[in-house]
């Protein structure tokens, strides 16, 4: 059970108690890990501090990955508390809201494209570049979050799909590059979940209903299920796994035809 005892995890991407990063935090904590957190802006600070407290953590640091030097400054502060750590969770993404609706050709701007790729994919590289010297446990593990839109055409996901394709390739190249230091890098491709990032996305409810109706398991996934998969990937039990995209989606990605009733 406590297979993460003695391991330390840094978690980026909590915005609320519905965040996938929160499901991951609770699972890592339950498996015995010690946690540290970051928040994107002052608006989120108190909320993240409260959730950190629930996990027995008082390490809560600012980090906006779109601001030059922010990752470096955050890790500099973290090194005052932890000289090394074992687990790095990257659970963040952004594209301009207006580009996540409508026709990809018509809606995608150069700025939006660059922003989506910078925040959702490049930030993982920068984080790994800066954190690598501190990732020193027995089996260090880096985990990011992706979505099926990386590898399939889908309505409305648009530039985020292209950025997630970049993220998944980024995971493979980072796995290659960090392998010589025994650091594993993987991502979890989660099914749709009602988080803040899903709020205001048109037809999100219909997407949840579609997965419930058509996935092999006939249900949606929870942040707890994603969290438990992250705990496995972070554990010594996954020491042979790197560069992978693991689907936690009730099997939705394998279907070739929806059920006909
Ligand atoms: P969320 O809104 O709870 O989390 C998104 C996080 O990204 C927030 O904490 C936000 O502060 C952070 N973020 C955005 N821009 C940032 C920046 N510049 N610097 C630092 N942090 C920034 O939503 P979520 O659904 O938990 O999203 C987490 C990850 O899961 C994302 O990568 C998302 O693409 C992925 N994902 C979500 C779903 C879903 O349906 N919710 C499905 C598959 C994958
Ligand atoms: O990765 C995501 C969403 C990421 C996201 C969400 C927002 C909303 C607020 C990125 N940028 C923003 N920008 C904002 O201003 N998901 C996997 C959830 C999601 O988003 C969709 C989906 C699904 C699923 C958008 C369109 C279609 C499907």
Token duo for residue 218 = 């006939």
- Which residues have C-beta within 8 Å of that of residue 72, sequence separation ≥ 6? 130
The answer, yes or no, to whether residue 127 has pLDDT greater than 70, is: yes
Mean pLDDT of 93-117: 98
pLDDT of res. 261: 75
Ligand 2: does its nearest atom lie under 6 Å from the Cβ of 157?
A: yes
Shortest-distance Cα residue to atom 13 of ligand 1: 92
- Beta bridge pairs of residue 189: 146, 247
| 29/57 Cα distance (integer angstroms) | 10
How do residues 206-217 score in pLDDT, each as one tens digit? 999 999 999 999
The set of protein residues with a Cβ atom below 6 angstroms from ligand 1 is: 13-16, 19-21, 40, 44, 63-66, 91-94, 119, 145, 147, 190, 192-193, 195-198
Domain 8-249 is found in CATH 3.40.50.720: yes
> What is the overall mean pLDDT for the chain?
97
SS3 209: helix
Tell me, using a 6 A CB cutoff, whether residue 97 lines ligand 2: yes
Q: How far is the CA of 259 from the centre of ligand 1 (A)?
A: 31
Mean pLDDT along residues 35-56: 98
pTM of the model: 0.98
Condensed to tens digits (0 to 9), the pLDDT of residues 106-121 reads 999 999 999 999 999 9
């Amino acid at each position: 059970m406590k297979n993460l005892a003695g391991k330390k995890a840094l978690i980026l991407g909590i915005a609320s108690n519905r965040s996938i990063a929160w499901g991951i935090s609770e699972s890592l904590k339950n498996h015995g890990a010690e946690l540290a957190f970051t928040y994107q802006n002052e608006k989120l600070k108190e909320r993240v501090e409260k959730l950190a407290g629930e996990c027995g953590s008082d390490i809560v640091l600012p980090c906006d990955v779109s601001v030059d030097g922010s990752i470096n400054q955050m890790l500099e502060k973290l090194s005052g508390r932890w000289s090394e750590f074992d687990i790095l969770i990257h659970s963040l993404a952004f594209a301009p809201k207006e580009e996540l609706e409508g026709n990809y050709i018509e809606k995608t701007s150069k700025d939006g494209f660059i922003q989506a790729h910078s925040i959702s994919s490049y930030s993982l590289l920068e984080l790994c570049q800066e954190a690598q010297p501190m990732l020193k446990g027995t089996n260090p593990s880096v985990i990011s979050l992706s979505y099926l839109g990386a590898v399939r055409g889908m309505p409305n996901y648009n530039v985020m799909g292209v950025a997630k394709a970049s993220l998944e390739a980024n995971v493979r190249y980072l796995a290659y590059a960090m392998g010589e230091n025994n650091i594993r890098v993987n991502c979890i491709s989660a099914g749709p979940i009602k988080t803040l990032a899903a709020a205001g996305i048109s037809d999100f409810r219909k997407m949840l209903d579609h997965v419930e109706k058509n996935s092999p398991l006939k249900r949606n996934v929870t942040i707890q299920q994603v969290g438990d998969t992250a705990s496995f990937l972070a554990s010594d039990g996954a020491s042979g796994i790197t560069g992978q995209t693991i689907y936690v989606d009730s099997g939705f990605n394998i279907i070739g035809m929806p059920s006909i009733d």
